[in-house]
Amino acid sequence: MSVSPTLPAHLRPALLADAAADESSLRRFLQGLPGVDPVGVESRAAALATRSIKSTAKLRAIDLAISMVDLTTLEGSDTPGKVRTLAAKARRPDPGFPDTPTVAAVCVYPDMVAVAAAELAGTGVGIASVATAFPSGRSSLEVKLADTALAIEAGATEIDMVIDRGAFLAGNYGKVFDEIRAIKAACGSTRLKVILETGELATYDNVRRASFLAMLAGGDFIKTSTGKIAPAATLPVIHVMLQAVHDWYALTGDRVAVKPAGGIRNTKDALRYLVAVREVAGPEWLDPFLFRFGASSLLNDLLMQRRTQTDGHYSGPNYVTVD
């Protein structure tokens, strides 16, 4: 699934600049990407999922997974108290084991950013906020920019935006590109995660095109899902996205991060994703700067399995705080 492996290196920057020049060039570039072999990608994902991680390597992998979690609450019933509790867990995931890593970030709605920011000041834990008419993405650009500005002014260090899937599926790639580029400009130094909502994109080819579209427009992350649509993250889809960032790096020398979100609830699944990261994108992506898990309940299982590794016996949910 590599992109134009025979393309001369000196032509690659020009190709990407031309791709973003106008709607027809963008369409030609995206539709000219090599197709994804569904059987091949699903077979490879299934094969890599059978790999196991043993002993001390498993504890290191669990710690790495904890450090990659964007601890998330995105419910209409969210309250300041709930966000404060989540922030406390982010700072100190397992008080009984103070060497447990902190999570990467807490992810909340824009109106809860100030609460999370106050609780996490000086901890190094990021403040991520969904924006741009989450989860549908169906609003005007003016509203999306205002939503983004609200979150950043309140203290967000990362913005998780959603693309307009209707525009993408209608082939209106230029609209999606322009919106991502405008939101990225509004973000400034704030990192931008572009949510593709892969469960609505229908095909692996669309996932690949949407991934490249997001990277062409300046996204710092490509993210699978809002967590509100099924299916959310799946291993084959993540393989496609990891291959896309690997190919992007080969084309540009820039590393774009990846975030699966939704449906990853246990340690076994998280470790399968880490194996995929290493084997498809490369070991450089095994870092919270370049890979995240969008999750809430996943952290609980990681903490229980971590206690199992350190204590030598299984620890149940009574030993960790359960959301």
Active site residue 184: no
Task: Please answer whether residues 270 and 285 qualify as being in contact, where contact means their C-beta atoms are separated by less than 8 angstroms.
Answer: no
| Ramachandran bin of 182, using left for φ above 0, alpha for ψ from -120 to 50, beta for the remaining angles | alpha
How does DSSP assign 259-279, residue by residue? E-BSS--SHHHHHHHHHHIII
How does DSSP assign 133-180, residue by residue? STTTT-S-HHHHHHHHHHHHHHT-SEEEEE--HHHHHTT-HHHHHHHH
Given the residues 70, 223, 269, 301, the one annotated as active site: 223
How many angstroms separate the Cα of 181 from the Cα of each of 220, 262, 302? 11, 25, 36
Given the residues 70, 147, 160, 301, the one annotated as active site: 160
Active site residue 58: no
Active site residue 160: yes
Q: Using CA atoms, how far apart are residues 63 and 147, in angstroms rounded to an integer?
A: 34
Catalytic residues: 160, 223, 259
